[in-house]
Structure 1
Amino acid sequence: MFPASLLPLAFLLPFAAVPVTADTYDMVMEYAGQNFFDDWTFYNNFDNLTNGDVVFLSASEALSSRLAFVDTTTNNAIMQVDNSSTVVYNDKRNSVRLQTNVRYGVGSVWIADMLHVPYGCSVWPAWWSNAPDWPTGGEIDTFEGVNMVTNSQMGLHTLAGCTVTGQNQSSTLLNSTDCSYLDNSNQGCITTDPDPASYGAAFAAAGGGVFVTEFATTGISVWFFSRADVPAAITANSSSIDTSTLGVPVGNWPSTSCSSSEFFEPQNLIFDITLCGDFAGATTVFAETCSGVCYNDFVLGNGSNYDTAYFEVASVRVFSKEGTNTIVQASAAPRTVPAAALGVALSTLAVAAVAALL
């Protein structure tokens, strides 16, 4: 969720045809329906993290202004940029950034089913995770887009010493192999999804899709499935998931030269939408797909530029490998979890008091 150029691509990888080593995981948490927003913390501050031209609202402000709400017709969660207020010069536009109250450690899988992702000139959305003391504890970007590009990207950001070798992934579009936040202005080790339906208008036209993140001792993997290609292992809404049935991931960062256990701590899952900032507003990046001046020509004014700047999410489901301390801190017991999976959740609950990232 930090600056990294989508184009040009630095490397081409050969297509990998062998699935990544996998495991079976049991569901421990579900964010869905009318209770979707119950266990999240909203940032409640201007964007002092990536210098975006937004103010991230508190939970009460976001809900009352309907920048975060559950659509009663579809039961899907909506998170969006303010598209109705008039913003004058030197002011910022309202938006949302929220993270789970629970952190998930090695031995976790999280699956996000989305119908729509934010896009448009100046728009910088992400579905990602990090540990509270970033860059210590690392960052996993499952989905990130910017402006009007046609493909999303995924990747890692870590302390120095994490590099990528031996990747087993379907994408041949590898931007970089050094994950250190100190390298290449914190570009991270980024892979671009070759599927044009992974972002923007094409994502919406395809009915959205599903992002799967596996945070395992053997490495980190990300899958993206456009709606028509979502496998039965996911559409069945089972209380368990076997990642070996998902095929080759789009992006893979094996532990061979970047140990998941060494460089990554339990992660808060995060949705956010900022505007302009270090990435979308960078002159060269903005000019790739948009014209004009990012803040002046898009953030300012009546907000009609942001009619497509919203997430629509059907669910986020989190799974755990039995025997791991997956849930580090929770504000409430897992909801809507089958009895068998709940037993795993309770057996893996650790009571360590870990401060959440504000």
Structure 2
Amino acid sequence: MLSSLALLSVVLPSALAATTYDMVKEYSGSTFFNDWNFYGQFDNLTNGDAIFVTSSVASSSKLAYVDSTTNRAIIKVDNTSTVAFNDKRNTVRISSKDEFDIGSVWIADMYHVPFGCSVWPAFWSQAPNWPSGGEIDTFEHWNLELHNQMTLHTEPGCTQASPVQTATVVNSTDCSFQDNSNAGCGVMDSTDSSYGAKFAAAQGGVFVTEMAESGISVWFFPRSSVPASLSSNASSFSTADLGTPTANWPTAGCAIDTYFKAQNLIFDITLCGDAAGAASVFQQTCSGVCYTDYVVGNGSVYDNAYFDVASVRVYSVTGMNTIVRVSSALGFRAGCWVWGAAALSGAVVLFAL
């Protein structure tokens, strides 16, 4: 929660250079899932009490499907099965077959994001040879927290310096996976409709991630304030339409072309695990024991544990095509999640690896 984070940086917004982008890839409608790889095994990445199912199981169990009424993609945790003690619950992790290089923007239009005790969702991106090539967490939090957090994870040498952003709460400025037990350089959205029940009540919103040579930026727009050029699903747009980013990591502190390479986009929902399930973290917003009181037993506690995604659209700088590879293989990098406590006014900071 905001009250548990250190207020390290308050930045007065100013203008960033505007860039025009053209759409090069779209995930939407009946073909949404065509160009994603399903992980297809238990969560050996974050120690979650979850099984990331195959494409066929996801389809037959309706854990990943396109809703015939809304034409939007649903990615969810199994909320109908009864799980026995020592078993894990089925859920989904998908990674884009394509990678997207510097000079890209990806825009995710979501109506609902997963939340609830034991639930740990994320929409993020990662280079295949992490930590080389870096990681960008556009959307992530866990349990019943109220605010989205946005974070970079890189090799040593990348920091957040002189950001131009609307967010004022920064939990770390060193992005190195070797610093603060890989807490990364994270920024917390002050908008309490950026995560959880209030996000759903507001009919969601739009997340925009720009990976440019000048820096990495993330914007969040609640449904009621989505810019016209994004709400109309235009084939091109300018960042001048977006205003000041919610979070910003300029190249002055982090040479983007050094620390970031082409990224795979990822949606995943795990349960408990190294972040959401850590007792000191779980008990901040939830009661009981993460695994035994939630994962085990009736699945109805996961009725809100789903993404409802209208589209993900990827854009390249006008005149470029930043799609660098289409993988026919499974293509998942073996990473893991760890957790620890960073010395940030006593705050517990949890992080990706």
Distance 1:7 1:295, change over 3 A: farther
With over 3 angstroms needed to count, the CA separation of the structure-2 counterparts of 1:48 and 1:6, relative to structure 1, is farther
Q: Does 1:262 align with 2:258?
A: yes
Q: Who is 1:101 aligned against?
A: 97
Q: Distance in 2 between matches of 1:151 and 1:131?
A: 26
**Deviation of 1:21 (Å):** 2.0
Q: How many residues align?
A: 333
- Given the alignment of the two structures, is residue 162 of structure 1 paired with residue 137 of structure 2, yes or no? no
Q: Cα deviations across residues 101-144 of structure 1 (Å, max 9, x unaligned)?
A: 00001000000000000000000000000011111110000000
Which amino acid in 2 is paired with 1:328?
V
Corresponding position of 1:33 = 29
- CA-CA distance at 1:355 after TM superposition: 8.2
| Letter paired with 2:24 | V
Aligned residue for 1:356?
331
Instruction: Supply the RMSD in Å over aligned alpha carbons.
Output: 1.5
Aligned-residue offset at 1:12: 4.0
Partner of 2:295: 299
| Equivalent position of 1:231 in the other structure | 227
Q: Any stretches of 5+ residues in structure 2 without a counterpart?
A: 334-353
Q: Does 1:49 align with 2:24?
A: no
Q: Which runs of 4 or more aligned residues in structure 1 lie more than 4 Å from their structure 2 counterparts after TM superposition?
A: none
Alpha-carbon distance in 1 for matches of 2:32, 2:249: 30
Separation in 1, partners of 2:37, 2:150: 23
CA contact (8 A) 1:233 1:245 kept: yes
Q: What is the CA–CA distance in structure 1 between the aligned matches of 2:130 and 2:80, rounded to whole Å?
A: 34
Match of 1:74 among 70, 74, 77: 70
1:39–1:331 contact (8 Å) kept in structure 2: no
Distance in 2, Cα, partners of 1:226 & 1:277: 29
2: distance between equivalents of 1:330 and 1:161? 30
Which residue in the other structure is 1:249 paired with? 245
Please tell me the residue identity of whatever aligns with 1:109: V
Aligned to 2:349: none
What's the counterpart of residue 152 of structure 1? 148
Match 1:180 to one of 176, 179, 195 = 176
Task: Determine helix, strand or coil for the equivalent of 2:270.
Answer: strand
Do the aligned partners of 2:160 and 2:249 also contact (CA within 8 Å) in 1?
yes
- Report the counterpart of residue 351 of structure 2 in structure 1: none
Q: CA deviation at 1:8?
A: 2.0
Is 1:85 matched with 2:60? no
Q: How far, CA to CA, are the matches of 1:355 and 1:145 in structure 2?
A: 26
Counterpart for residue 273 of structure 2 = 277
Deviation per residue, 1:144-172 (Å, 9 max, x gap): 01100111100100111111111110000
Alignment of 1:134-153 (within 5 A): 134-153=130-149
